């Protein structure tokens, strides 16, 4: 029935396909497609599935290395960590759905990325969330924050995968487009990795998981279109998550993956049954025959179009060897999951789907998967850069005292403690979390070994706005620095590139520059990019978000007892700084809060200096010379020092002396890169000084931890002298007061 509707230009346009794309479909098929086929092309050629704008740029990223078992192109990347084990990880966006319905949007984002990881045969052991919200004073921000956090909590907590870290920024550029980027990491046997591959003629195609409903139809196309006022009416396309079914699916999949007759598996994510089945067949160079009537259905009367394009959650497609169908069905039924054999692998490269015995889809698989028109989108350096590129500091007054500035920075929801958020997440289940949320990076033990993994995610969008090339480099550098501060070597990167509308050449330029920055720094650091995701069209009524290339870094330490945290451990420990401070106020939180502007150049990043600082820090940790290490980031040196005071076993004050000819605000609140605050016992000082000198890294002893005051003197003058517990209260409770709507 749906197959017999004639295709008009209006129907083509409604499917988000251009006349050129439609002409290409006609040429590839040598006939007109029917409506079901058009729907499949529309979903598969959407930006979300085809990466048509981004692919030419992504190809330039370094994706190989001695540890890489699987790079980009599969459900997730895989990196060898020795002892026969591998980590499987990826970060993915769920931005558009989360803006429309924050709770379900975020929840299904968590569900989707976990499936990407366990389809590869890995048990998920950690989640991170990188969230971006609008101005805290914007009317929707609190609602969106609470909804997203609850969605993540409801889903992750129920499935029993700990959410161990993440980052949150607030900026008005996200008022109309929040970002929800979810990272998942799983652990697998290195020789038992499963791929999305439909090989072997006659092998069975198995549908498993929830029944198919009418939800999310055209989700993939929605994620590839800008928002307008009508978007908030698009609620029916938002999928609803069922974490309970996901948990059953997870356990059932890991059980069936012990069998040798499992050939391939893929999650039914964006574009549902279409993308999973087409991609699996394409990778194997095979064809498929499907009987759509066999697909488990939630509602009566669903047609082929709906079955092919539904984005109902918690569904997977397995290919199992012919003859083992009954064993497979028995395992899934043990876990009370809906399961059915819905098709077979053929050898002719053609996709055939029948509905009521009639063939309603007959498509050449390769043409659908790889045939999207390549978009060589034009790029143009944005005009705004010339206008915002300079920052004249001479006109800016330097505050006489820093206490009030520090308090306001600590209260900024971007800088304030995220305890309010992570306490809503189960961050302990599975007993691996060695370093709980609230330090630079989360540290997880690797069960049955002495190893540990360190995870961090980062991206400062304001730097990216001022210079997307530098912004992306800093995101990589900082995420690596976080992992290094915990005592681990970075071994792999995954990225989620969030940008505006790629049809705008200025946005495409931002994208190109960010990818170039990401690639250059990863090459320099020799860390492979093993998976990633692109989210474009983050734009409302022509207002694009700032470039946000979110970077997650996975680090490895061979001896987990050598992990390090950011808090000062005891009174009397000395405090020092690795790295040097420049006048980097462009893009800083200080500039935004006190001057209400965003201009100038982002902080300088010299890759060689960055590498030297990181290597020195790792050396110091491994020689057990330091007791804490904390990266300097938003809010600068003063905030980093204060955070280290708050986050030890007990809050400690500090007495610090700085000497510098620099502006006091730049010295304390500027965001120079490649700096790490450390603490150590007095007797380690000579060794630290000599190692720093050998490494060519500037090192300065700044003072001592202890007491009830946080005091900083600059060139002999007292600049900050505040009660440490009062500062801690501001930092620890500001976000919770905001989320709970408590005044104060």
For residue 204, what are the CA distances in angstroms to 282, 291, 369, 498?
16, 12, 21, 38
**Residue span 87-126 as binding mask against other proteins, x where in contact by CB under 8 A, dash where not:** ----------------------------------------
* Shorter beta-carbon distance to other proteins: residue 182 or 658: 182
From 233, 326, 336, 397, residue interacting with other proteins (rule: CB under 8 A): 336
Q: Which DSSP state fits 178? A: -
Three-state SS at 376: coil
**Residue span 380-409 as binding mask against other proteins, x where in contact by CB under 8 A, dash where not:** ------------------------------
From 244, 389, 572, 723, residue interacting with other proteins (rule: CB under 8 A): 244
| Cβ pair 344, 202 in contact under 8 A | yes
| Cβ pair 578, 613 in contact under 8 A | yes
From 158, 518, 621, 676, residue interacting with other proteins (rule: CB under 8 A): 158
**744 lines the binding site for other proteins (CB under 8 A):** no
* Shorter beta-carbon distance to other proteins: residue 424 or 504: 424
From 211, 445, 574, 599, residue interacting with other proteins (rule: CB under 8 A): 445
CA distance 76 to 527: 16
**141 lines the binding site for other proteins (CB under 8 A):** no
**731 lines the binding site for other proteins (CB under 8 A):** no
**159 lines the binding site for other proteins (CB under 8 A):** yes
Stretch near other proteins under the rule CB under 8 A, chosen from 61-69, 78-86, 427-435, 462-470: 427-435
**431 lines the binding site for other proteins (CB under 8 A):** yes
Least Cα distance to 146 among 109, 108, 98 occurs for 98
Stretch near other proteins under the rule CB under 8 A, chosen from 151-159, 279-287, 709-717, 725-733: 151-159
Min separation Cβ 639 and other proteins, Å: 24
What phi and psi values does residue 632 have, to the nearest 5 degrees? -90, 120
| Cβ pair 325, 331 in contact under 8 A | no
From 243, 371, 413, 579, residue interacting with other proteins (rule: CB under 8 A): 243
Stretch near other proteins under the rule CB under 8 A, chosen from 147-155, 388-396, 579-587, 688-696: 147-155
Min separation Cβ 242 and other proteins, Å: 7
Stretch near other proteins under the rule CB under 8 A, chosen from 67-75, 279-287, 389-397, 424-432: 424-432
Q: How far apart are the first and last CA of the chain?
A: 62
Stretch near other proteins under the rule CB under 8 A, chosen from 130-138, 165-173, 237-245, 487-495: 237-245
CA distance 659 to 577: 13
Strand order in the sheet with 287-291: 262-267, 315-320, 204-209, 338-346, 287-291, 350-355, 358-364
**248 lines the binding site for other proteins (CB under 8 A):** yes
| Cβ pair 14, 222 in contact under 8 A | no
Q: Are strands 338-346 and 204-209 parallel, antiparallel or unpaired?
A: antiparallel
From 184, 406, 434, 522, residue interacting with other proteins (rule: CB under 8 A): 434
* Shorter beta-carbon distance to other proteins: residue 556 or 577: 556
* Shorter beta-carbon distance to other proteins: residue 277 or 439: 439
**666 lines the binding site for other proteins (CB under 8 A):** no
**157 lines the binding site for other proteins (CB under 8 A):** yes
Of 48, 57, 103, 630, which residue is the catalytic one? 48
**38 lines the binding site for other proteins (CB under 8 A):** no
From 298, 430, 516, 709, residue interacting with other proteins (rule: CB under 8 A): 430
Number of residues that bind other proteins (CB under 8 A): 29
**179 lines the binding site for other proteins (CB under 8 A):** no
Residue with tokens 């939800």: 215
CA distance 603 to 669: 12
Number of H helices, E strands in the chain: 26, 28
**425 lines the binding site for other proteins (CB under 8 A):** yes
From 233, 400, 741, 744, residue interacting with other proteins (rule: CB under 8 A): 741
Min separation Cβ 20 and other proteins, Å: 47
CA distance 103 to 117: 22
Stretch near other proteins under the rule CB under 8 A, chosen from 179-187, 320-328, 420-428, 674-682: 420-428
User: Of 564-623, which residues contact other proteins (CB under 8 A)?
Assistant: none
Three-state SS at 351: strand
Instruction: Note the helical H segments in 417-500.
Output: 419-422, 461-466, 468-485
**172 lines the binding site for other proteins (CB under 8 A):** no
Stretch near other proteins under the rule CB under 8 A, chosen from 148-156, 188-196, 270-278, 567-575: 148-156
Residue with tokens 């050396």: 619
From 153, 198, 475, 545, residue interacting with other proteins (rule: CB under 8 A): 153
* Shorter beta-carbon distance to other proteins: residue 66 or 744: 744
Mark whether 573 is an active-site residue.
no
CA distance 598 to 587: 6
Token digits of residue 535 = 């989210």
User: Rounded to 5 degrees, what angle do the CA atoms 363, 368, 372 make?
Assistant: 145
Cβ neighbours around 10 below 10 Å, total? 8
Of 94, 218, 324, 630, which residue is the catalytic one? 94
**424 lines the binding site for other proteins (CB under 8 A):** yes
158-172: buried (b, 16+ CB within 10 Å) or exposed (e) per residue?
Answer: bbebbbbbbbbbbbb
* Shorter beta-carbon distance to other proteins: residue 1 or 428: 428
Q: Which DSSP state fits 81? A: E
CA distance 604 to 474: 9
Least Cα distance to 117 among 238, 217, 262, 249 occurs for 249
**160 lines the binding site for other proteins (CB under 8 A):** yes
Beta bridge partners of 578: 676, 699
| Cβ pair 235, 308 in contact under 8 A | no
| Cα R_g (the chain), whole angstroms | 26
Min separation Cβ 423 and other proteins, Å: 5
Mark whether 94 is an active-site residue.
yes
**Residues contributing to the site for other proteins (CB under 8 A):** 150, 153-154, 157-160, 242-245, 247-248, 335-336, 422-431, 434, 445, 740-741
Active-site residues, by number, are: 48, 94
């Amino acid at each position: 029935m749906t197959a017999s509707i004639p295709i008009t230009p209006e129907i083509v346009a409604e499917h988000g396909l251009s006349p050129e794309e439609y002409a290409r479909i006609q040429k590839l098929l040598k006939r007109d497609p029917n409506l079901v086929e058009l729907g499949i092309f529309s979903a598969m050629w959407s930006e979300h599935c085809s990466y048509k704008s981004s692919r030419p740029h992504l190809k330039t990223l370094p994706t190989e290395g001695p540890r890489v078992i699987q790079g980009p192109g599969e459900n997730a990347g895989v990196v060898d960590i020795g002892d026969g084990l591998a980590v499987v990880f990826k970060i993915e966006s769920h931005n558009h759905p989360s803006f429309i319905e924050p709770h379900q949007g975020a929840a299904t984002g968590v569900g989707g990325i976990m499936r990407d990881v366990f389809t590869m045969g890995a048990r998920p052991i950690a989640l991170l969330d990188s969230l971006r919200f609008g101005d805290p004073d914007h009317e929707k921000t609190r609602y969106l924050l609470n909804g997203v956090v609850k969605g993540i909590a409801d889903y992750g907590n129920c499935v029993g995968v700990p959410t161990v870290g993440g980052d949150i920024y607030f900026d008005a550029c996200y008022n109309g487009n929040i970002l929800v980027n979810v990272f998942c990491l799983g652990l697998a046997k290195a020789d038992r990795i499963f791929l999305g591959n439909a090989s072997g003629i006659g092998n069975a195609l198995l549908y498993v998981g929830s029944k198919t409903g009418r939800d999310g139809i055209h989700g993939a196309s929605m994620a590839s279109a800008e928002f307008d006022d009508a978007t908030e009416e698009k609620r029916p396309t938002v999928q609803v998550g069922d974490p309970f079914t996901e948990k059953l699916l997870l356990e059932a999949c890991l059980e069936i993956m012990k069998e040798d007759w499992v050939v391939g598996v893929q999650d039914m994510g964006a574009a549902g049954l279409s993308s999973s089945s087409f991609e699996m067949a394409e990778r194997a160079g095979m064809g498929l025959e499907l009987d759509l009537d066999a697909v488990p259905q939630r509602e009566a009367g669903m047609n082929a179009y709906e079955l092919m394009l539904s984005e109902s959650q918690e569904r997977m497609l397995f290919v199992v060897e012919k003859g083992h169908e009954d064993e497979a069905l028995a395992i899934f039924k043990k876990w009370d999951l809906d399961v059915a054999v819905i098709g077979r692998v053929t050898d002719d490269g053609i996709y055939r789907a029948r509905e009521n015995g009639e063939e309603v889809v007959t498509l050449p698989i390769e043409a659908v998967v790889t045939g999207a028109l390549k978009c060589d989108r034009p790029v143009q350096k944005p005009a705004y850069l010339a206008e915002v590129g300079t920052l004249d500091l001479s006109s800016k007054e330097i505050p006489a005292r820093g206490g009030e500035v520090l308090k306001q920075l600590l209260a900024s929801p971007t800088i304030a403690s995220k305890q309010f958020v992570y306490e809503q997440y189960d961050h302990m289940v599975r007993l691996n979390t060695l370093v709980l949320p609230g330090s630079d990076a989360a540290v997880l033990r690797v069960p049955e070994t002495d190893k540990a993994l360190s995870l961090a995610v980062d991206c400062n969008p304001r730097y990216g706005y001022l210079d997307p090339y530098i912004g992306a480099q800093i995101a990589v550098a900082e995420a690596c620095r976080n992992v290094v501060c915990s005592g681990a070597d970075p071994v792999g990167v995954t990225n989620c590139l969030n940008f505006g509308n790629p049809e705008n050449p200025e946005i495409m330029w931002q994208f190109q520059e960010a990818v170039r920055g990401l690639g250059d720094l990863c090459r320099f650091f020799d860390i492979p990019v093993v998976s990633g995701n692109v989210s474009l069209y983050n734009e409302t009524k022509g207002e694009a978000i700032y470039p946000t290339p979110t970077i997650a870094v996975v680090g490895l330490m061979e001896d987990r007892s050598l992990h390090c945290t950011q808090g000062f451990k005891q009174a009397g420990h000395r405090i020092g700084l690795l790295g040097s401070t420049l006048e980097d106020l462009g893009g800083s939180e200080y500039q935004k809060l006190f001057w209400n502007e965003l201009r100038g150049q982002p902080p300088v990043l010299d890759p060689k200096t960055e590498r030297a600082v990181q290597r020195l820090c790792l050396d110091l940790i491994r020689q057990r010379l330091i007791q804490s290490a904390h990266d300097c980031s938003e809010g600068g040196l003063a905030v980093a020092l204060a955070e280290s005071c708050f986050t030890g076993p007990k809050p400690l004050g500090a007495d610090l002396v700085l000497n510098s000819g620099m502006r006091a605000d730049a010295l304390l609140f500027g965001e120079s890169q490649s700096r790490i605050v450390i603490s150590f016992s007095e007797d380690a000082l000579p060794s630290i000084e000599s190692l720093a000198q050998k490494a060519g890294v500037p090192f300065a002893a700044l003072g001592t931890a202890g007491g009830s005051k946080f005091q900083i003197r600059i060139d002999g003058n007292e600049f900050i002298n505040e009660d440490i517990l009062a500062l801690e209260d501001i930092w620890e409770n500001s976000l919770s007061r905001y989320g709970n709507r408590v005044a104060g």
